[in-house]
């Protein structure tokens, strides 16, 4: 959601903060700000701007703020509109304490009311602003105990304050009286400390750290830390000092390079042949004795034998990948599987059933709804004294070091490399692949498919990289041309059936997210039950018609749209029946199981080109953020 970066050391803080914020802007871009302890005046210099980070940079243009300790923030608005007054950092009344926060302080209104009664006036509508005022009050109390004005005292004050906060947060605090110290804390929102030589940087995500160091220490939930150039002290929620070894950042977590592409999203769409290759090399392993391929996930999969049903929890695009996954697990591998919106699961979970596998899917590994739903499921299963009900868990993520990576022991790292564009593309593709892997594994374990059928699917997967390359080659220009004709439309309907119904949903989500055109995906057979009322010549219909089980049905449903004058775009192979389409985005004929992996490519390209043609900020669409760490 919001991005936080904080630094203490010997180098000038301003460029480090700006560089960090540039790398975190995908987390929110409603406003940004920095606060630095000015080493000449020993006071805090704050600078903020509404809108994109470039506005802050232009504000700061001629300023040379001396100081080596500072905090920065890029905001995704929750409490209070995206206006200057709500931009972080927020300060206490005297301007000697500055705070940046990512999360939601659920009891802020009660706290604010109390502070207002004590005579404190507020300058913003945010939940965050209570924090510097509470810290100020706490420091005043501590000063009566004759504690020194230093980082340790700030640490005590922040610890006392966060014990009164409800909700989830990651925060960083500066105090002018402790000019080399930084205090950072987290609860259910990510924070990672980067270890430089005699300097430390703390941020919500690794890209902000990568230019600085590749040695990191992810903070655990409910931890608080004091950072000075001399070292770091980390404490858990029981105030026990924590000692653990740092880890190295993976190379893929360090690279953010648009290369020659106009937008990250287009580059990431083009990354997909490489994503497929990488995934296949990592997880599809040839048995040298019998020459057969096997799926090898990096954890002991013996426990899968006892699994009788699967629940999958996810949000947004990850949920669409989960829906394809559930189709494969049920229809290919024969295991009952259900998909849940994480935000719904949490408050209306299904009754507990034995021998269930719970799969969490999240590219960022930080989505609050998903993490909380999984947490709830782990707790309710662990509280039952019957091993049939114990939690069996797998996470599918692109960020092994994230919150889900710490929450769940069995991780399928989708290995897609960092995805910067807010609209998920290559991570969706790699999530799909991970479900193909699971379906193959289950089909094998449960003997629900013959070796021949399994081998056939594996052979199709192995052929993917060049096929995806060809699809990109074929459809980039054609979708750019199509976008030229369609960039001004108001509504689009996406239809798909069976394994491609989630692809229709994902096509519609991609278009909505980045072009702001209203789009809706439906199971093709459902259109006649209502959505057909929307159709006329101004509403194009994009129909996914892969050869196989439901091809004829999808074509009949497309006929129904044609009869209502809709312009029909087909995502289909060039075979009998597809002449009905006014425009065919041709897909090579393939095995139906594999078709989602092909059909998604032209849909991603079309959304991209429509949004780019409309002159929109494709990589940072309005109101969105790459990782949604609030409920």
Residues recognised as catalytic:
2, 626
Q: Which is nearer to ligand M6R, 74 or 318 (CB)?
A: 318
Contact with ligand M6R (CB under 6 A) among 278, 363, 407, 515: 363
By CB under 6 A, is residue 624 in contact with ligand M6R? Answer: yes
| Residue nearest to ligand M6R according to CB distances in the complex | 316
Q: Which is nearer to ligand M6R, 204 or 547 (CB)?
A: 204
Residues 513-572 that bind ligand M6R (CB under 6 A): 513
Q: Give min distance, CB of 27 to ligand M6R, in A.
A: 11
Contact with ligand M6R (CB under 6 A) among 45, 362, 515, 607: 362
Q: Give min distance, CB of 434 to ligand M6R, in A.
A: 12
HEC letters along 13-25: HHHHHHHHHHHHH
Residues 9-28 that bind ligand M6R (CB under 6 A): none
Please work out the total of residues on this chain that contact ligand M6R, with binding judged by CB under 6 A.
16
Distance CA 315, CA 323 (A): 11
By CB under 6 A, is residue 395 in contact with ligand M6R? Answer: no
Strand order in the sheet with 411-413: 337-341, 309-314, 356-362, 392-397, 411-413
Q: Give min distance, CB of 436 to ligand M6R, in A.
A: 18
Instruction: Judge whether 427 and 392 are in contact, CB under 8 Å.
Output: no
CA separation, residue 623 to residues 1, 28, 152, 196, 318 (Å)? 11, 8, 38, 34, 19
**Residues near 279 by beta carbon (within 8 Å), at least 6 away in sequence:** 414, 415, 416, 430, 433, 434
Phi/psi zone of residue 591: left (φ > 0), alpha (ψ -120 to 50 degrees), beta?
beta
Picking from 517, 467, 511, the residue whose alpha carbon sits closest to that of residue 491 is: 517
HEC letters along 466-528: HHHHHHHHHHHHHHHHHHHHHCCCCEEEEEECHHHHHHHHHHHHHHHHHHCCEEEEEEHHHHH
According to DSSP, residue 329 is labeled I
In 53-107, which residue ranges form alpha helices assigned H by DSSP? 53-60
What mask of x and - would describe binding to ligand M6R in positions 316 to 345, judged by CB under 6 A? xxx---------------------------
Residues 397-426 that bind ligand M6R (CB under 6 A): 422-424
**DSSP states along 103-131:** EEETTHHHHHHHHHHTT---S-S-STTHH
Contact with ligand M6R (CB under 6 A) among 74, 102, 367, 590: 367
Q: Which is nearer to ligand M6R, 210 or 422 (CB)?
A: 422
By CB under 6 A, is residue 505 in contact with ligand M6R? Answer: no
Stretch that binds ligand M6R, among 182-190, 219-227, 284-292, 357-365 (CB under 6 A): 357-365
Q: Which is nearer to ligand M6R, 89 or 360 (CB)?
A: 360
Instruction: Judge whether 393 and 358 are in contact, CB under 8 Å.
Output: yes
Q: Which is nearer to ligand M6R, 92 or 401 (CB)?
A: 401
Which pair of structure tokens corresponds to residue 602?
């032209």
- Residues in the site for ligand M6R, rule: CB under 6 A? 315-318, 362-364, 367, 370, 422-424, 513, 624, 627-628
């Amino acid at each position: 959601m919001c991005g936080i970066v904080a630094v203490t050391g010997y180098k000038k803080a301003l460029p480090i903060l700006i560089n960090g914020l540039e790398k975190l802007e995908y987390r929110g871009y409603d406003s940004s700000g920095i606060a630095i302890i000015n080493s000449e005046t020993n006071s805090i210099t704050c600078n903020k701007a509404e809108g994109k980070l470039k506005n802050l940079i232009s504000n700061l243009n001629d300023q040379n703020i001396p100081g080596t300790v500072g905090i920065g923030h890029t905001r995704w608005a929750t409490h209070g509109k995206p206006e200057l007054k709500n931009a972080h950092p927020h300060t206490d009344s005297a301007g000697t304490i500055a705070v940046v926060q990512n999360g939601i302080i659920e009891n802020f209104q009660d706290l604010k009311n109390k502070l207002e009664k004590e005579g404190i006036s507020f300058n913003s509508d945010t939940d965050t602003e209570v924090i510097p005022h509470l810290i100020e009050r706490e420091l005043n109390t501590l000063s009566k105990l004759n504690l020194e004005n230093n980082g340790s005292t700030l640490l005590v004050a922040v610890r006392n304050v966060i014990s009164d906060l409800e909700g989830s947060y990651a925060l960083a605090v500066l105090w002018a009286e402790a000019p080399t110290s930084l205090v950072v804390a987290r609860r259910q929102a990510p924070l990672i400390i980067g270890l430089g030589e005699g300097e430390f940087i703390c941020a919500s995500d690794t890209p902000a750290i990568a230019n600085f160091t590749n040695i990191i220490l992810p903070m655990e939930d409910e931890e608080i830390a004091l950072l000075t150039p001399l070292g770091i002290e980390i404490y858990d929620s029981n105030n026990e000092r924590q000692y653990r070894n740092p880890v190295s950042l993976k190379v893929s977590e360090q690279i953010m390079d648009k290369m020659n592409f106009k937008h990250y999203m287009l580059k990431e769409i083009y990354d997909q042949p490489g994503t497929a290759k990488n995934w296949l090399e990592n997880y599809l392993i040839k048995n040298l004795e019998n020459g057969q391929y096997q799926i090898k996930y990096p954890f002991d999969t013996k426990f899968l034998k006892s699994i009788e049903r699967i629940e999958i929890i996810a949000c947004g695009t990850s949920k669409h990948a989960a829906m394809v996954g559930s189709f494969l697990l049920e229809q290919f591998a024969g295991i009952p599987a259900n998909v849940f919106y994480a935000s719904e699961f949490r408050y209306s979970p299904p009754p507990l059933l034995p021998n269930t596998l719970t799969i969490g899917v999240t590219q960022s590994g930080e989505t609050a709804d998903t993490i909380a739903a999984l947490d709830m499921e782990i707790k309710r299963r662990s509280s039952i004294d019957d091993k049939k009900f114990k939690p069996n868990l797998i996470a599918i993520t692109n960020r092994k070091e994230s919150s889900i990576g710490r929450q769940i022991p069995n991780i399928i790292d989708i290995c897609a490399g960092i995805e910067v564009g807010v609209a998920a593309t290559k991570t969706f593709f790699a999530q799909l692949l991970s479900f193909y892997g699971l379906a193959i594994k289950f089909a094998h374990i449960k003997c629900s498919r013959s070796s021949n059928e399994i081998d056939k699917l594996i052979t199709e997967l192995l052929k993917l990289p060049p096929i995806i390359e060809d699809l990109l080659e074929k459809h980039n220009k054609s979708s750019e041309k199509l976008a030229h004709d369609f960039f001004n439309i108001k509504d689009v309907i996406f239809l798909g059936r069976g394994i491609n119904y989630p692809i229709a949903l994902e096509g519609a989500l991609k278009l909505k997210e980045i072009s702001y055109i209203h789009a809706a995906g439906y199971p093709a057979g459902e259109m006649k039950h209502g959505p057909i009322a929307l159709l006329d010549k101004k509403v194009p219909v994009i129909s996914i018609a892969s050869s196989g089980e439901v091809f004829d049905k999808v074509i009949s449903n497309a006929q129904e749209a044609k009869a209502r004058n809709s312009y029909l775009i087909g995502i289909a192979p060039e075979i009998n029946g597809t002449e009905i389409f006014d425009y065919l985005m041709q897909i090579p004929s393939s095995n139906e199981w594999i078709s989602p992996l092909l059909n998604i490519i032209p849909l991603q390209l079309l959304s991209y080109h429509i949004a780019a043609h409309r002159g929109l900020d494709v990589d940072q669409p309005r109101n969105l953020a790459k990782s949604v760490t609030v409920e």
